[in-house]
Amino acid sequence: MIGFLIILHTIISVLLIIVVLMQASQGGGLSGTFGGQAASSILGGQSAGNVLSRITTWLATLFLSLAVVISMLSGPSDSGTSSIVKKAAEERLIIPGAEQIPILDQDEEILDLGGNE
């Protein structure tokens, strides 16, 4: 399902790029090169800007919505939220005969073997 959503997201992003490039800009820009005049002649002079603007709005909304849905579906699951260190400590094998390191209480004195005085 995520693969289908990613393909749909890619198609919408390409359509969004095409529609944005077809819009007439203030300075001419790329719209004349990539068919901005053709869109105006096909859709009719004044209404072409309104239609392309509405299509851009809808495609942008779909693009952002799909991005959120894809990120929510492909994000980490609740079972994987625990720490890797905690999992490793729980799964650690205790070797029989191995000496366990005692945990000192605050009342016990620590033996200094380093020779520092």
pLDDT > 70? residue 100: no
Residue at 38 is within a domain: yes
pLDDT computed for residue 66 by the predictor: 96
The pLDDT tens digits for 57-87 are: 999 999 999 999 999 998 776 665 567 777 7
For residues 38 and 23, give the distance between their C-alpha atoms in angstroms, rounded to a whole number: 10
User: Is the pLDDT score of 16 beyond 70?
Assistant: yes
- 90 pLDDT higher than 80: no
Domain count, the chain: 1
Whether 39 is covered by a domain: the verdict is: yes
**104 within some domain:** no
Does residue 37 form part of some domain? yes
pLDDT at 9: 96
Average pLDDT for the chain: 75
The whole domain housing 46 covers: 2-70
Q: Is the pLDDT of residue 21 over 80?
A: yes
Task: Tell me whether residue 88 is in a domain.
Answer: no
Chain centre distance of CA 3:
15
For residue 28, being part of any structural domain is answered with yes
- Which token pair is 65? 């919505």
In this structure, the dihedral spanned by the alpha carbons of residues 21, 11, 63 and 29, taken in order and rounded to 10 degrees, is: -10
66 in any annotated domain = yes
pLDDT band at 40, cuts 50/70/90? Answer: low
Within-domain flag for 47: yes
